[in-house]
Chain A
Amino acid sequence: MDYLYEQLKLIKGLPALRIGEGTLPTLEAFISGYCDRQREIFGANGSNIVLAPEFQDFVGTYYGVDASKSGWVSLIMNRCGDGHAAFFKFYELLDVYLDNKGVKAEKLAGYRHVLDKSGARDFHAKRWSGETLPRFDSAKVFYGFASDFLSDAYLENRANAHGGVSAALLSEAGLSRYLACPGVAKAFEKLADGRTDIVLSARTNEAQRLAAVGRGLEMRSDLIAKDALVFVVSAENPVKNLTMGEAKMICSRDLTNWREVGGRDEPIHFHQLEDGLEFAVQEIFGFVPAEMIMREEIPEVSSEPLRSVVDDKNALCCVAFSRIARDGTHDGTRTLSVDGAAATDGNVTGGLYPLMFGVYAVTATNRHSDGCKARNIREVVEGMSCPRGQALLKKAGHVPLNLGRDG
């Protein structure tokens, strides 16, 4: 009998009661303590499922990497980006693994075969229809990817000449009601009310999580890509670099004059961030600029923030790297480096640029009593993580995770 597995089943039901909180690092600590005592007494790990090398291989195969280098906990944590989401993912993987134990002998190739057959990973093979479509709300900064993704999945890639999907095309196909861009604060309200199924956003904050818990919901954030915060200034601005501390103080408005960062004695005109970046600021610096939360109306996707920098030599505009990667910078503007790292494609994808943040697909895990609907939502989120979804993210300018099954 696998006593550890019995314990894990109990923990899954009541994580807060049994181990304090439902996160994967906490569960890992429990398993470590359990196994350490086991080894002290018996001198061996025993036949515990999660400690078996086969499970390690399984998780590695699932993510398309060599799990022996980092261990399954690190792999799931890196992939999910959030301890709570990783906790659920672990149990999901454990279930798939146990369901398919019969093909264990086929080792890696066998697992790949099993996974390819499993509905949870086969998003793009499915014919989606209006009845099965989950509804998306996207922060403006991720709208490009969301529309591409919808196009790829639902419209058989009828993208326009620029590689994106116009609102008109979505509308023509009757799908515009499945993708909205209402402002990220409103999107989370809709998620809590059940008026949308998936929100594309930077990391949710504690207030949102607690608000969801207050309504009896458990929010789950799946990391699907990465992006970076980039500062754009006028080409006439003599400042070339900011330190992390200076960048933080500019965002919090504690630093308001260019002279303090080696520029002219002129005020810094901090231009409004794009919708969705307020949570990126929070993830990086630990606070949300107050005015971002209060903004109600979000205009259609446009390059307005960058245009404003061209006309104002004291302007500093904060945008997502994906926008720069997709549209380029305007003539008369340039980006600032941070801690000596320029916002180039190589630095951002290589992780050298410091202002990185995660792109998450946020769902309410216990919203739908209808199992079919819940499964569809999960399949769509999984679809974003598969190689094809990651390619779309890259096309939209985001940094893919490079952890897809096919590398």
Chain B
Amino acid sequence: MDYGFIRLNEIRENPERYLREKSLWLLSAYMHGYFERQNQIDGSLQSEVWSSGDFQAFVEGYYRTCGTPLGWSFIIERKCVGKDAAWDKFWELFDKYWDVKTARPYGAARAWPPADNRPRPRWARSELFGILRDMRFDPHYYDWSKPFVSIPYHIYGYYARQQEKGKATKADGRFLAEFQAFVEWRHGTRHDGGRARWWEIIIRNSRDDSDAFHEFYRILDEYLEKAVGAVMEKPVRTRWDFDDEALFFKKEG
């Protein structure tokens, strides 16, 4: 079991033992100190729990913000009314994030090519494509200041939010399942036990982070063409322009 995960759960059970008060700022600082010591000892940047800013990307996706220098503790506290609500929200988000992080596909839910391999009508297209298009042209991604792996966590964060609101469509679910199968098919890993998720397969087949980014969008373009009959275009204005405002002015009850 991951040492960071164990410590986090201990804090969840008994926050007073580790922190002066239940506060995300303090939790964030505590975990930072905790991982910093590990880093000094063996050079490992993070444990699995926090690795490469995955959780940050998940929270950004959940709240539809991007390119912010603010940490997850700040984003969650800004979005919640009161410290207690923020504390509870953190654990709720962490559980969802951990599900994404640890769930293994064990064989994709859908096969590729599908039996009904015809372009779908426009209404059946997933909203997630729009977000992926924004990220493709967002400088925080294409200039590599954010790692490639933050893309899937951002997408899953957003999808978790849509599910919570009851707004996740069948097209969203179908895309996430089908894209897994498509990537497996594309890289010929369909019969490796299906234990790797699509972003892990892409990383495994890429030279570096930048290559992974390009490889992902190349595969996505191919998928869009084959499955949806669509082409990804450059957006006129990215969605983040609006969402950063919302982050500061809109609180959730």
Interface residues of A (CB under 8 A from B): 3, 7, 18-21, 23, 25-38, 40-41
Contact = CB atoms under 8 A, between A and B. Distances in A.
Contacts of A37: 33-35, 37-38
A interface secondary structure, majority: helix
Given A21-B25, A25-B26, A32 B36 contact: no
B18 A19 contact: no
A40 B33 CA distance: 13
Contacts of A7: 33, 36
A26 B26 contact: yes
Interface of B is mostly: helix
Interface in B8-48: 18-21, 23, 25-38, 40-41
A7 B23 CA distance: 22
Contact of B33 (A21, A25, A30, A41): A30
Contact of A30 (B7, B30, B41): B30
A27 B33 CA distance: 9
B18 A18 contact: no
A37 B47 CA distance: 12
Contacts of B74: 20
B29 A41 contact: no
By size class, the interface of chain B is: 20 to 34
Contacts of B33: 7, 19, 29-37
A129 to B, nearest CB: 44
B20 A29 contact: yes
Contacts of B28: 19-20
Contact of B20 (A19, A28, A35, A41): A28
B37 A29 contact: no
17 contacts: A19-B29, A20-B25, A20-B71, A20-B74, A25-B21, A25-B23, A26-B26, A28-B20, A29-B29, A30-B29, A32-B30, A33-B30, A33-B31, A34-B34, A36-B7, A37-B34, A41-B38
Nearest to A31: B33
A25 B27 CA distance: 11
A332 to B, nearest CB: 45
B41 A29 contact: no
Nearest to B69: A17
A40 to B, nearest CB: 8
Interface in B64-89: 71, 73-74
B29 A33 contact: yes
A33 B25 contact: no
Candidate in B32, B37, B74 with the most chain A CB atoms within 10 angstroms: B37
Nearest to B40: A3
Interface string B192-225: 0000000000000000000000000000000000
